[in-house]
Structure 1
Amino acid sequence: MPGGGRPEADAGARHWTFLSNHGHVLVCLARDPEARLRDVALAVGITERAVQKIVSDLEEAGVVERVREGRRNRYRLFLDRPLRHPIEAHRTVGSLLGMVLDEPAVRRLGGPGQEPRRSVE
């Protein structure tokens, strides 16, 4: 596991992750609600246009709200929204983020041992 602590993939191996790009964008916005979409795109490894589309999808689903502050956007996440697929619909956006984020970010979201927030920005 040189470098970033991840096992190196075989040169011919197909790359995949457990979270979709929508999940990755959501995690980035939870970590930094003031993140520029350009920075989110770099972190996720997709184009800025793809991130814009994903944020629009998340807004339409009622998971994210874009709040304009001067020349920047701030993103509010609604943690009580259920996950969209029937297999995981018994879980919320907040529970997903609680599994993925580091401890300080989970505390900011109202993580384990704390009353969960309905939204975070």
Structure 2
Amino acid sequence: MTEQAGQWHFLTNHARVLFAIARDPAARLRDIAEVCNVTERTALSIVSDLEQAGYVRRERDGRRTRYTLCPDGTLRHPAEAHVPVRELLDVFTSRDGQL
């Protein structure tokens, strides 16, 4: 049994990737994967999901990819559908560390 089996977490990998992009829109996929403790393939899949859902846009900048957040949408779960993504980002990416 793995160390994480039977454990649960408050944040999904999708949320972690979104927060990583919010903190560094010029981050390489490799860096996003490392920060989120997922594989590059998983990070790419999550970024694609976020892009398809309208939360993120990807743009090529030379040989790099730059990400742009689209924080005006709302959360997907019906219980939180009234909460703008911007509010979640503000809480988890605040610079002063205060909640």
TM-score range for the pair, normalised by the shorter chain length? 0.7 to 0.9
Distance 1:13 1:51, change over 3 A: closer
- Name the CA shift for 1:72/1:91 in 2 (closer, same or farther; >3 Å): same
Q: Which runs of 5+ in 1 are unaligned?
A: 1-10, 105-121
| Structure 1 residues 91 and 36: CA distance shift in structure 2, 3 A | same
User: How is 1:71-86 mapped onto 2 (pairs within 5 angstroms)?
Assistant: 71-86=63-78
Shift of 1:13: 7.7
State the aligned residue count: 94
- Take 1:12 and 1:65, find their aligned partners in 2: how far apart are those partners? 32
Question: Could you say what secondary structure the match of 1:84 adopts?
Answer: coil
Cα RMSD, aligned residues only: 1.7
Instruction: Please say if 1:24 is aligned against 2:16.
Output: yes
User: % of aligned pairs identical?
Assistant: 52
Counterparts of residues 1-121 of structure 1 (less than 5 Å): 14-103=6-95
Q: How far is 1:12 from its partner?
A: 8.4
Which 5+ residue runs of structure 2 have no aligned equivalent?
none
Please, what TM-score do these two structures have when normalized by structure 1?
A: 0.72
